[in-house]
Amino acid sequence: MSILGSYIVAYAIRIYIMNYYKNTRGKGVKLDNNGFFAIEQIAASVVMVGVGVGLFRAADWFGATNSQVKIFHESLVNPNSFWFWAIVAGMAYGMVAFFSVFIFMFKGRTATFAGLVNRLTSLSAGTAATVVSYLLFRGKFTGIQDWL
Protein backbone atom coordinates (compact mmCIF):
# COMPACT_ATOMS: atom_id res chain seq x y z
CA MET A 1 0.00 0.00 0.00
CA SER A 2 2.90 2.37 0.65
CA ILE A 3 4.16 1.87 -2.92
CA LEU A 4 0.68 2.48 -4.33
CA GLY A 5 0.26 5.53 -2.11
CA SER A 6 3.61 7.02 -3.09
CA TYR A 7 2.81 6.41 -6.77
CA ILE A 8 -0.54 8.20 -6.49
CA VAL A 9 0.98 11.13 -4.59
CA ALA A 10 3.83 11.45 -7.10
CA TYR A 11 1.43 11.36 -10.03
CA ALA A 12 -0.84 13.95 -8.41
CA ILE A 13 2.15 16.28 -8.02
CA ARG A 14 3.21 15.61 -11.61
CA ILE A 15 -0.26 16.40 -12.97
CA TYR A 16 -0.40 19.56 -10.85
CA ILE A 17 2.96 20.74 -12.23
CA MET A 18 1.88 19.89 -15.79
CA ASN A 19 -1.33 21.89 -15.44
CA TYR A 20 0.47 24.77 -13.75
CA TYR A 21 3.07 24.86 -16.50
CA LYS A 22 0.39 24.72 -19.20
CA ASN A 23 -2.04 27.22 -17.65
CA THR A 24 0.46 29.91 -16.61
CA ARG A 25 1.89 30.64 -20.05
CA GLY A 26 0.82 33.84 -21.73
CA LYS A 27 -1.92 34.13 -24.36
CA GLY A 28 -0.72 33.07 -27.78
CA VAL A 29 2.55 31.61 -26.46
CA LYS A 30 3.25 28.24 -28.04
CA LEU A 31 3.39 25.40 -25.54
CA ASP A 32 6.89 23.99 -25.29
CA ASN A 33 7.10 20.94 -23.05
CA ASN A 34 10.91 20.88 -22.90
CA GLY A 35 10.87 23.15 -19.85
CA PHE A 36 8.29 21.00 -18.12
CA PHE A 37 10.23 17.81 -18.79
CA ALA A 38 13.42 19.44 -17.47
CA ILE A 39 11.66 20.55 -14.28
CA GLU A 40 10.09 17.11 -13.91
CA GLN A 41 13.42 15.29 -14.28
CA ILE A 42 15.22 17.62 -11.87
CA ALA A 43 12.43 17.34 -9.30
CA ALA A 44 12.27 13.54 -9.62
CA SER A 45 16.05 13.23 -9.23
CA VAL A 46 16.11 15.46 -6.15
CA VAL A 47 13.23 13.54 -4.55
CA MET A 48 14.78 10.12 -5.27
CA VAL A 49 18.14 11.14 -3.83
CA GLY A 50 16.40 12.72 -0.85
CA VAL A 51 14.31 9.62 -0.16
CA GLY A 52 17.40 7.42 -0.50
CA VAL A 53 19.36 9.54 1.98
CA GLY A 54 16.33 9.70 4.27
CA LEU A 55 15.94 5.93 4.27
CA PHE A 56 19.67 5.44 4.78
CA ARG A 57 19.69 7.80 7.78
CA ALA A 58 16.19 6.93 9.08
CA ALA A 59 17.48 5.00 12.08
CA ASP A 60 19.82 7.82 13.11
CA TRP A 61 17.39 10.68 12.49
CA PHE A 62 14.04 9.16 13.44
CA GLY A 63 14.92 6.05 15.40
CA ALA A 64 13.31 3.90 12.71
CA THR A 65 13.48 0.20 13.51
CA ASN A 66 11.63 -1.15 10.47
CA SER A 67 13.37 -4.26 9.15
CA GLN A 68 13.23 -3.02 5.53
CA VAL A 69 14.92 0.24 6.51
CA LYS A 70 17.63 -1.74 8.29
CA ILE A 71 18.12 -3.98 5.24
CA PHE A 72 18.42 -0.92 2.98
CA HIS A 73 20.98 0.65 5.35
CA GLU A 74 23.02 -2.55 5.67
CA SER A 75 23.02 -3.16 1.91
CA LEU A 76 24.91 0.10 1.45
CA VAL A 77 27.17 -0.12 4.51
CA ASN A 78 28.12 -3.78 4.05
CA PRO A 79 27.58 -4.63 0.39
CA ASN A 80 27.23 -8.23 -0.70
CA SER A 81 30.06 -9.73 -2.72
CA PHE A 82 27.57 -10.11 -5.59
CA TRP A 83 26.89 -6.34 -5.76
CA PHE A 84 28.71 -6.04 -9.10
CA TRP A 85 26.57 -8.79 -10.60
CA ALA A 86 23.42 -7.18 -9.27
CA ILE A 87 24.38 -4.01 -11.14
CA VAL A 88 24.98 -6.05 -14.28
CA ALA A 89 21.52 -7.63 -13.90
CA GLY A 90 19.99 -4.17 -13.53
CA MET A 91 21.70 -3.07 -16.72
CA ALA A 92 19.45 -5.48 -18.65
CA TYR A 93 16.52 -3.29 -17.60
CA GLY A 94 18.40 -0.13 -18.49
CA MET A 95 19.42 -1.32 -21.94
CA VAL A 96 15.88 -2.31 -22.87
CA ALA A 97 14.25 0.77 -21.30
CA PHE A 98 16.80 3.11 -22.92
CA PHE A 99 14.81 3.31 -26.14
CA SER A 100 11.55 4.27 -24.43
CA VAL A 101 13.15 7.51 -23.25
CA PHE A 102 14.22 8.64 -26.70
CA ILE A 103 10.93 7.90 -28.46
CA PHE A 104 9.83 11.43 -27.53
CA MET A 105 12.70 12.91 -29.57
CA PHE A 106 11.52 11.52 -32.90
CA LYS A 107 9.70 14.04 -35.09
CA GLY A 108 6.27 13.12 -36.40
CA ARG A 109 5.47 10.54 -33.75
CA THR A 110 2.01 10.47 -32.19
CA ALA A 111 1.39 10.42 -28.48
CA THR A 112 -0.53 7.15 -28.77
CA PHE A 113 2.38 5.41 -30.44
CA ALA A 114 4.91 6.91 -28.03
CA GLY A 115 2.83 5.86 -25.03
CA LEU A 116 2.40 2.32 -26.34
CA VAL A 117 6.09 1.92 -27.16
CA ASN A 118 7.04 3.35 -23.77
CA ARG A 119 4.82 0.83 -21.95
CA LEU A 120 5.98 -2.08 -24.10
CA THR A 121 9.66 -1.32 -23.55
CA SER A 122 9.04 -1.04 -19.81
CA LEU A 123 7.27 -4.40 -19.89
CA SER A 124 10.13 -5.93 -21.90
CA ALA A 125 12.68 -4.45 -19.51
CA GLY A 126 10.87 -5.82 -16.46
CA THR A 127 10.57 -9.25 -18.05
CA ALA A 128 14.27 -9.25 -18.97
CA ALA A 129 15.24 -8.20 -15.44
CA THR A 130 13.06 -10.97 -13.94
CA VAL A 131 14.60 -13.65 -16.15
CA VAL A 132 18.18 -12.41 -15.53
CA SER A 133 17.53 -12.29 -11.78
CA TYR A 134 16.22 -15.86 -11.84
CA LEU A 135 18.99 -17.28 -14.03
CA LEU A 136 22.00 -15.50 -12.54
CA PHE A 137 21.02 -15.03 -8.90
CA ARG A 138 18.60 -17.88 -8.28
CA GLY A 139 15.88 -15.33 -7.61
CA LYS A 140 12.24 -16.19 -7.16
CA PHE A 141 10.60 -17.06 -10.46
CA THR A 142 7.31 -15.38 -11.26
CA GLY A 143 4.21 -17.54 -10.90
CA ILE A 144 2.14 -18.63 -13.90
CA GLN A 145 -0.75 -16.28 -13.05
CA ASP A 146 1.62 -13.29 -13.24
CA TRP A 147 2.97 -14.39 -16.62
CA LEU A 148 -0.57 -14.79 -17.92
pTM of the prediction?
0.49
Domain spans of the chain?
1-78, 80-148
pLDDT digits (tens, 9 = 90+) for 16-55: 877 877 777 777 777 777 777 777 788 888 888 998 898 8
Whether 101 has a pLDDT exceeding 80, the answer reads: no
72 contacts 56 by C-beta, under 8 angstroms: yes
| DSSP one-letter string for 72-116 | HHHHHHS--TTHHHHHHHHHHHHHHHHHHHHGGGSTT--HHHHHH
Predicted local confidence at residue 116, as pLDDT: 64
| Higher-pLDDT residue of 77, 25 | 77
Segment 125-143 shows an average pLDDT of: 83
Residue 59: the pLDDT is: 73
Contact 114, 100 (CB under 8 A): no
DSSP letters spanning 116-145: HHHHHHHHHHHHHHHHHHHHHH--PPPPHH
Structure confidence at residue 117 (pLDDT): 65
Cα Rg, the chain, nearest whole Å: 19
